[in-house]
Amino acid sequence: MDRTILHVDINGCYASIECLYRPEIRDKPVAVGGDVEARHGIILAKNELAKKYGVKTGEAIWQAKLKCPNLITVPPRFPLYLRFSKLARAIFRQYSDRVEPFGIDEAWIDITGCSDRTGYEVADEIRRRVFSELGVTVSVGVSFNKIFAKLGSDYKKPDAVTLFTRDNFRSKVWPLPVQSLLYVGPATTRKLSALGITTIGEIAQAPVELLEHKLGKWGYVISSFANGRDSTPVALYDSESIIKSIGNSTTTPRDLTCDADACIVFYMLCESVASRLREQGLMACGVQISLRDSTLYTFERQASLPSPSSISSDLHFAAMSLLKEHYVWQKPLRSVGIRAIDLIPASSPLQTTLFEPPQRRVKREKLELAIDEIRNRFGHYAINRAITALDPSLTNINPKEDHVIHPTGFFKAI
Amino acid sequence: MSNSIKAYVTVGAVFSAEGNLTPKYIIWEDGRQFEIDRIIDVRRAASLKAGGAGIRYTIRIGGTETFLFLEDTRWFVERRVS
């Protein structure tokens, strides 16, 4: 039996919520943008009116204002958006226990066997309910697999339901451009275009060997997607995905110009990452840093830790060693990040090192746990490393609580 | 044209032993108190007029039906302004 899968997308999520809360700007072009002063000045979301002017998510606010001089930009309020995201998921869960969020504003719902009604009817009810209960519009795609369901929610926006069936997908999905397909990005689009392939239908009909030859295993994957052969399940709600890494990055309020600057920011980030490792009961066996210079050139470097750790000073030492080894400060840095990788359970047995008595390590661990507790009770800024007082302009961030979940990979459900 | 704005209000409410929450009266900004005669409907709803979303109580006060919203931990009404 075919599955019935819905994909729900909250239209212009952040901007729609801001427009709901500010009736006075609802009929004007509105975009939610990061803080220009803190150099996070890009468009995060826009409403339908701003979209008509060609305002795009991800572009700089000044670029958007060239296209739309009377664009109203408002700062983001992530806690509010997370609340809406939770409320929307609570509605979805009334239809199925298989609800898989994809970022903050999208989710798949597998309603196979959950209702006597058709997928279209259920989708339309969800669309009406979200608007009446949350005041924001959604577009819903209904299909027999996740890929086409997602295509459906993009097909007609806002406030619409699109149905792709086995009977109509050739006439409706196949004429769409290749980049509408999940996992076909700019690089793949270029390669396909070199083969004369510009539509999803052309992918579907191209010999799979040719696609595999040009694109590797992704050639096979997108060929299957284009033909509607996608059997990836919709994950059960709350099914904990296995955490592969924990990371934090930040674009600093001013460019970093020397090791001392980076040292301060890495301390902030390492504390957040280490604290989250401990929360999850994990230790890292390796550390990866990402650096972006003032010309936006970005690269990553990684190294193993001498022994697994969830202590911020260990992560910091590794991050600074990587930085010193791989960066010579020809250009200032705009953004830095650190990621704890190769995670293992904190209960794993540890090989002690010759160079540090195990008692000292236990002491350092206890010290950090005490800091966690102080912060949990009295707030993040209740206790800080003295080094962060050297330059408050760099350290006025709370990476742990400002941390927002971004869309994860599609294949995590497998 | 009449518009509405979001007016936060103080609400007196009763929590029953079963855990139900029933608003009983509203205290307006100027200190006047209005008893809620009847609760006609309770549902999750957005307020497009005032801008917000929460649990919407359709209530009757002195023969007039109106909406009272509980948004997280605060109550608000849609106050008409001309």
pLDDT digits (tens, 9 = 90+) for B7-42: 999 999 999 999 999 999 999 888 899 999 999 999
**Nearest CB neighbour to A133, from listed B3, B4, B44:** B44
How high is the pLDDT of residue A350?
77
* Of the candidates B58, B72, B75, B68, the residue with the CA atom closest to the CA atom of residue A80: B72
Give residue B32's identity as a one-letter amino acid code.
R
In tens, the pLDDT along A41-57 reads 889 999 999 999 999 98
Q: From CA A161, how far away is CA A156, in angstroms rounded?
A: 7
**Nearest CB neighbour to B51, from listed A20, A83, A131:** A20
Every domain of chain A and the residues it spans:
5-10+89-226, 13-79, 246-410
Q: Which of chain B's residues have a Cβ under 8 Å away from the Cβ of A87?
A: 44, 53
Q: Which of chain B's residues have a Cβ under 8 Å away from the Cβ of A84?
A: 53
Token pair, residue A114, equals: 């959950």
Element (H, E) at A201: helix A200-205
How high is the pLDDT of residue A356?
78
What angle separates helix A217-226 from helix A208-215, to the nearest 10 degrees?
A: 140
A 149-168: CB under 8 A from B: none
Q: Are A2 and A132 in contact (CB under 8 A)?
A: no
Tell me which chain A residue has its CA closest to the CA of residue B52. Answer: A21
What is the CATH code of the structural domain delimited by A5-10+89-226?
Answer: 3.30.70.270
How high is the pLDDT of residue A362?
86
Q: In the predicted model, is pLDDT for residue B54 greater than 50?
A: yes
Structural domain for B29, as ranges: 3-81
Shortest alpha-carbon distance between residue A12 and chain B (Å): 17
Q: Which of chain B's residues have a Cβ under 8 Å away from the Cβ of A21?
A: 51-52
Beta-strand runs (E) in A93-168? 99-101, 106-110, 138-143, 160-163
- Catalytic entry in A18, A100, A106, A271: A106
Token pair, residue A50, equals: 């701003």
The verdict on whether A106 is a catalytic residue reads: yes
Total number of domains in chain B? 1
What is the CATH code of the structural domain delimited by A246-410?
Answer: 3.30.1490.100
Q: In the predicted model, is pLDDT for residue A413 greater than 50?
A: no
Block residue for tokens 């792709």:
A164
Tell me which chain B residue has its CA closest to the CA of residue A83. Answer: B72
Q: Are A31 and A62 in contact (CB under 8 A)?
A: no
Residues 6+ apart with CB under 8 A from B65: B40, B58, B59
- Give percent above pLDDT 90 in chain A: 58
Beta-strand runs (E) in A144-281? 160-163, 246-256
To 5 degrees, how large is the angle CA A176–CA A182–CA A187?
90
Report the range of poorest mean pLDDT among A224-238, A324-338, A341-355, A362-376.
A341-355
How high is the pLDDT of residue B2?
47
Q: Which of chain B's residues have a Cβ under 8 Å away from the Cβ of A86?
A: none
Distance of CA A176 to CAs A172, A256, B29, Å?
8, 44, 56
Q: In the predicted model, is pLDDT for residue A414 greater than 50?
A: no
Q: In the predicted model, is pLDDT for residue A35 greater than 50?
A: yes
Q: From the CB of residue A224, how many other CB atoms can be counted at a distance below 10 Å?
A: 17
* Mean pLDDT taken over chain A: 88
**Nearest CB neighbour to B51, from listed A21, A87, A132:** A21
* Secondary structure, 3-state, B21-81: EEEEEEECCCCCEEECCEEEEEEEEEECCCCEEEEEEEEEECCEEEEEEEECCEEEEEEEE
* Of the candidates A111, A209, A124, the residue with the CA atom closest to the CA atom of residue A159: A124
Record: contact A133-B43, CB cut-off 8 A: yes
Task: Indicate the pTM of the whole model.
Answer: 0.74
Token pair, residue A353, equals: 């090192």
Specify the CATH architecture of the domain A13-79: 3-Layer(aba) Sandwich (3.40)
Q: Is A270 exposed, middle or buried (0-12, 13-18, 19+ CB in 10 A)?
A: buried
Q: In the predicted model, is pLDDT for residue A409 greater than 80?
A: no
How high is the pLDDT of residue A38?
65
Instruction: Kindly state whether A135 is in contact with chain B, defined as any CB-CB distance less than 8 angstroms.
Output: yes
* Of the candidates A210, A160, A150, A218, the residue with the CA atom closest to the CA atom of residue A181: A150
Token pair, residue A181, equals: 């397909």
* Of the candidates A93, A112, A184, the residue with the CA atom closest to the CA atom of residue A147: A184
